[in-house]
Chain A
């Protein structure tokens, strides 16, 4: 399934007082591809991820996005997940009291139901989840932990990867999943992503660091500054950005 973003404009807040954050993004991610988006702080990278996920604080003012040819932005946030999109957040929300394993079962079943696939009963979930945890290289105790509540920043990122693996998307947008992780955790996350990759699955990695891109090789690298993609290139672009920074774009 192809994710196609065309001339996407978005703002936060209302028309009068709001602020334009995305100023015409064009991006096509084809099945099997890995794209990296890099850029300085405040460039609009997380905004792009949240707009794609359907976060209601942001309004799309022009342009659009399609997933597999269907209008992505016309869908409710949960319908976008059912359609095959997963967005891993830079700051996953803590949900106190909700047990991770039970949440994952409900999320899995919601997607299964939308796809007319069999739902998993509570009693059959534990072994299935254990297998997903193994695939995602997440810590074994994640089934019984809280949904981000009580997890460290790094553990929350790893929980996002686990959610991705459980939800089985075709397009994953991962927003700074590597920030706040030590090198071993980054390696585990990278192995999780690589194990999950398939010819029909694509991934957009939003990152500041070359390290993750050494482990998950991107096909294309894009530079996002001021709500626009100002340059695109091959994997060599990320190495150059790491050396030179974003100064040449005035950032």
Chain B
């Protein structure tokens, strides 16, 4: 299971990850050492489009922007506290950063509108963390929007705790290209009969890596992952998931990668079922559609099953466009490029159509347009 949920630590910086680390094995790490742009001040008007009408926490280069009037519904504002301290790092991720805002958000009643975390990076190295807790029975939607306005090295992550029967739907998207480095690391603990569904849409960049660790801690804790990575040029995008079933609990994961040019993607997913997880049912599916001979898609589905009465299924396929389908579309008047675009769009749509937040889904569709 590797390093399980440990939360955030203050203190010393941690060593840089390298491809020798088990969960970084598919990542080309050179961009970690590349120079970044100087961070700059972003006028508020430039940020507005990224958070729309949602109740937003905005982190700019790791610093929390104070909420503007109307950013938070009354009653919710009080539930935010700023825990920003000195340098922080996340040992679950093996990741250091230089500046770090840390926001805690405790949601005790249905927020009435989507929550949004906007992570803006203009340059330099930065990181920000959020500790989100949903009280028992609370239902919420959270959009996480990554915006890179320069060559920056940025990390966002934190902890999510769902009380009994709570439901959280997360839509995490990359809203811009990432000329530098973007990494995320979320550690979630899902309570009894609570559910976490995570939608992820990414286009990669110099280095983009997402990691999600989920502790299905109680009976009936549920997790779903729907991820689309559509990458072109020499960009890379990677996804790591670590799902721990402790009691009878279901998890479903569908990860779809679409690669062009010399792109690289990987999905490294582990389903662990410990003694006591009897009655659990896990399914993990990874598909890669590779449209160029120079692209490289890696897949590493893993099962670590130590309970008897469980179901665990995984599948990984790597394929090209179906020549029969391309031919049929051409014989209906689409040129080869249009046929490839239509098939790529259809391929991703299975994931994108499930994003519950329409505004965010529109950005994702636009960004991932094949």
Contact = CB atoms under 8 A, between A and B. Distances in A.
A77 B330 contact: yes
Interface string B320-340: 000011011111111110100
Contacts of B328: 89, 92-93, 95
Contact of A53 (B331, B335, B342): B331
B343 interface: yes
Contacts of A54: 330-331
A95 B333 contact: no
A178 to B, nearest CB: 20
A92 B349 CA distance: 22
Contacts of B343: 95, 97-98
A97 B330 contact: no
Interface residues of A, number: 28
Interface of B: 324-325, 327-336, 338, 342-343, 346-347, 349-350
A72 B324 CA distance: 22
A20 interface: no
Given A93-B324, A95-B346, A96-B346, A106 B334 contact: yes
A93 B343 CA distance: 13
Interface of A: 53-56, 76-78, 80-82, 87, 89, 92-93, 95-99, 102-103, 106-107, 110-111, 114, 163, 167
Contacts of B338: 106, 110
Contacts, number: 65
A110 B335 contact: yes
Contacts of A80: 331
A95 B329 contact: yes
Contacts of B332: 78, 81, 103, 107, 163, 167
Contacts of A106: 334, 338, 342
B333 A81 contact: yes
Given A93-B324, A97-B349, A97-B350, A81 B331 contact: yes
Contacts of A92: 328
Given A93-B325, A95-B325, A97-B350, A103 B342 contact: yes
A87 B330 CA distance: 12
A54 B334 CA distance: 13
Nearest to B346: A97
A97 B287 CA distance: 14
A90 B331 CA distance: 14
Given A95-B343, A95-B346, A106-B342, A78 B325 contact: no
